């Protein structure tokens, strides 16, 4: 077989066999197929697509390119959760503890942020001492002991995806549904859970810009999961504005702690309760989503979920006093208020622009080697549907490097106003299973 023939075959819109897909992924993982041929093939996939069988075959090949995590020593049905990424998305830090507090083991491997989207690992590392790289053995033991572990992906998990993702990032081939679906699902399947809850986001701050594309992506991933016998469901959620109010690492951890204390923003809480209800049903804790929701609410009011987070932080070497007393988190040198220049209702809030401002303040990486400043970011005081009077504070900027006129204008430019009443956007459009 020759790679050039397979590139031409896909370029011409023909279907590839399982053997041909194996040849591509195996050859690329072993450095036999060079980057330039792989990027040409992935670009052909962007234009011609892959059918259901090809997408499932690609996912399986990627999944088997490295280690498969064995979670069989963990008692109970393990449910994993994955978000396709967005601005202010600290869902895992709330959802993990509330679901674990209801007796469902959560063994989660998370990622780092790149560009305007934050990553759970970077957020967790704002807790002093917390170690996200622990052995598979310690991971399994921790989940058995305290029901929750959130760690970094092992270097040997899905090496095909690591190489392909890095190449896609620099060849304009990220936004391609079969490539995104196989990238996400190959990692989730290799990570060994019994069931998967996907949070597929759409809108300005997400990879999928429209709800239609988000649904196609969700359906594609559900079909892959179901074809391997895993109960897979997806929330389709709106990322036309940031989730919650905080953007930036320790600011988001603090907001997650507030939510576990019963004082979090409504949109974040609602997403966690809806997604969590499905996770409890998937784990067979109950067959009613309503009962599941009540169990999750009780995990918050009783502070059980907060205790689970403390136990996880301690088990991973972190200082759990920070969870009990969030005022201990290192603060940025300055907090600058950005005030409205007009009266009106907020009708649009560009999540992407605000995510980029937080990154430029040092809260995210422009390149993979950049060091993160955990204390900086934004706290939104006004969101879509809020009425604003001239001089009201829109955003508090937490910064260690002042605020340039350019960044200030980017924040102001992210807000769009109207004099007409604006209803708050619906957060979850649908749950697919």
CB 207, min distance to ligand URA, A = 6
Catalytic residue, candidates 65, 126, 154, 183: 183
Catalytic residue, candidates 10, 81, 116, 168: 168
Residue 391 known to be catalytic:
no
Residue 154 known to be catalytic:
no
Q: Does 180 bind ligand URA (CB under 6 A)?
A: yes
Q: Does 59 bind ligand URA (CB under 6 A)?
A: no
29, 55, 84, 249: which one binds ligand URA (CB under 6 A): 84
Q: Which residue number, 167 or 403, has a Cβ lying nearer to ligand URA?
A: 167
CA 278 to chain centre: 17
Total residues interacting with ligand URA, rule: CB under 6 A: 8
Q: Which residue number, 68 or 174, has a Cβ lying nearer to ligand URA?
A: 174
Which is nearest to 51 in space by CA: 15, 23, 21?
15
Edge-to-edge, what's the strand order for the sheet holding 393-399? 246-247, 377-380, 393-399, 334-339
Q: Which residue number, 111 or 326, has a Cβ lying nearer to ligand URA?
A: 111
Interface pattern 316-345 for ligand URA (x via CB under 6 A): ------------------------------
Task: Return the range that interacts with ligand URA (CB under 6 A); candidates 54-62, 179-187, 294-302, 306-314.
Answer: 179-187
Q: Does 358 bind ligand URA (CB under 6 A)?
A: no
- Sequence-distant (6+) residues with CB within 8 A of 256 are 90, 93, 94, 264
Output the CA torsion sign for 114, 116, 119, 125.
positive
Position of minimal CB gap to ligand URA: 183
Residue 183 known to be catalytic:
yes
The answer to whether the CB of 403 falls within 8 A of the CB of 347 is no
DSSP state of 15: P
**Helix (H) or strand (E) run with residue 107 in it:** strand 106-110
Alpha carbon separation from 359 to 116, 162, 224, 362, 399 (Å, rounded): 6, 22, 34, 5, 11
The answer to whether the CB of 418 falls within 8 A of the CB of 380 is no
Rounded to the nearest 10 degrees, how much is the dihedral formed by the CA atoms of 411, 414, 420, 421? -80
The answer to whether the CB of 341 falls within 8 A of the CB of 411 is no
Catalytic residue, candidates 82, 123, 188, 215: 82
Task: Return the range that interacts with ligand URA (CB under 6 A); candidates 16-24, 100-108, 176-184, 308-316.
Answer: 176-184
Residue 187 known to be catalytic:
yes
Residue 227 known to be catalytic:
no
Neighbour tally for 298: CB within 10 Å: 14
CA distance 353 to 204: 9
| 181-200 residues near ligand URA, rule: CB under 6 A | 183-184
CB 209, min distance to ligand URA, A = 14
Catalytic residue, candidates 80, 122, 161, 199: 161
Q: Does 241 bind ligand URA (CB under 6 A)?
A: no
Residues annotated as catalytic are: 82, 161, 168, 183, 187
Residues forming contacts to ligand URA in the complex (CB under 6 A) are: 84-85, 165, 179-180, 183-184, 207
């Amino acid at each position: 077989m020759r790679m050039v023939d397979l590139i031409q075959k896909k370029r011409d819109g023909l279907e590839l066999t399982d053997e041909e897909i194996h040849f591509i992924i195996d050859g690329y993982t072993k450095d036999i197929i060079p980057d330039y041929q792989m990027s040409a093939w992935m670009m052909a996939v962007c234009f011609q697509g892959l059918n259901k069988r090809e997408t499932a075959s690609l996912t399986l090949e990627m999944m088997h390119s490295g280690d498969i995590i064995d979670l069989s020593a963990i008692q109970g049905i393990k449910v994993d959760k994955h978000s396709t990424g967005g601005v202010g998305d600290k869902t895992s830090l709330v959802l993990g503890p509330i679901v674990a507090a209801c007796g469902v083991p959560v063994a989660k491997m998370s990622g780092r942020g790149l560009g305007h989207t934050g990553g759970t690992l970077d957020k967790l590392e704002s807790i002093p001492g917390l170690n996200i790289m622990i052995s598979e053995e310690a991971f399994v033991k921790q989940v058995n002991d305290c029901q929750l572990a959130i760690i970094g992906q092992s270097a040997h998990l899905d090496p095909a995806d690591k190489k392909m993702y890095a190449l896609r990032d620099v060849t304009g081939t990220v936004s391609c549904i079969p490539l995104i679906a196989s990238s996400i699902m190959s990692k989730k399947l290799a990570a060994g859970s019994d069931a998967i809850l996907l949070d597929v986001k759409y809108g300005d701050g997400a990879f999928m810009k429209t709800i239609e594309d988000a649904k196609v992506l969700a359906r594609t991933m559900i079909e892959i999961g179901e074809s391997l016998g895993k109960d897979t469901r997806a929330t389709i959620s709106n990322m036309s504005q940031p989730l919650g109010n905080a953007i930036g690492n320790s600011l988001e951890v603090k907001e997650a702690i507030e939510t576990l204390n019963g004082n979090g923003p409504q949109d974040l809480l609602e997403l966690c309760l809806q997604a969590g209800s499905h996770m409890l049903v998937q784990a067979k804790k109950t067959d009613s989503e309503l009962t599941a929701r009540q169990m999750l609410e009780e995990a918050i009011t009783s502070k059980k979920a907060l205790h689970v987070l403390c136990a996880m932080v301690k088990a991973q070497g972190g200082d759990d006093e920070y969870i009990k007393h969030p005022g201990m988190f290192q603060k940025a040198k300055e907090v600058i208020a950005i005030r409205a220049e007009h009266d009106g209702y907020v009708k649009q809030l560009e999540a992407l622009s605000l995510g980029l401002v937080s990154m430029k303040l040092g809260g995210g990486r422009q390149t993979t080697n950049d060091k993160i400043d955990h204390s900086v970011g934004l706290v939104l005081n006004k969101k879509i549907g809020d009425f604003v009077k001239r001089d009201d504070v829109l955003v508090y900027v937490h910064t260690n490097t002042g605020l340039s006129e350019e960044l200030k204008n980017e924040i102001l430019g992210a807000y769009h106003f109207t004099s007409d009443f604006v209803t708050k956007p619906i957060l979850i459009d649908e749950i697919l299973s």
